[in-house]
Amino acid sequence: MAVQNNTKPSLAQRWENYQPTKGTLFMACAATAVATMIVGFNWGGWVTGGTSRQLATTAGDVARGELASIICVEKFRAATDSAVKLTELNAITDTYKRRQFVETGGWATMPGQTSPDRRAAEGCALALAV
């Protein structure tokens, strides 16, 4: 009578002997790709091309508005009657009317433009009212 070896193979031995099928290998690769995309878009900061273009456009608009506000403030302060106009501006409590005051004064009209820049007027009124 032969003695049977009832010992279970070790994990290392089972790993060496494992031969996945093509289907199992394909599914593992697909699951890995999906998991990578989920992690990348949710936590890795990945964005699509459309979102990237939208963010860049928004950042450019904000930067232009900030620069135009600075130019507006400098134009306002360079005016001969800036102290009187600043007192008038600070007397206005409504932010919409402050913006209109700056636009009407012409300080928010950027060089080369014919109409005032709304963002410049808003930022300028906010900066001057402080």
Q: Which domain holds residue 104?
A: 61-128
Q: What is the amino acid identity at position 29?
A: C
Q: Looking at the domain assignment, is residue 13 inside a domain? A: no
Give pTM, 2 decimals. Answer: 0.65
Q: Is residue 79 part of a domain?
A: yes
Q: Residue 2: inside a domain, yes or no?
A: no
How many domains are contained in the chain? 1
Residue 9 tokens read as 């193979």
Distance CA 121, CA 99 (A): 5
Cα–Cα distance, 19 to 36 (Å, whole number): 25
pLDDT in tens, the chain (130 residues): 555 667 888 889 888 888 889 999 999 999 999 999 999 999 999 999 999 999 999 999 999 989 999 999 999 999 999 999 999 999 999 989 999 999 999 999 988 889 998 989 999 999 998 7
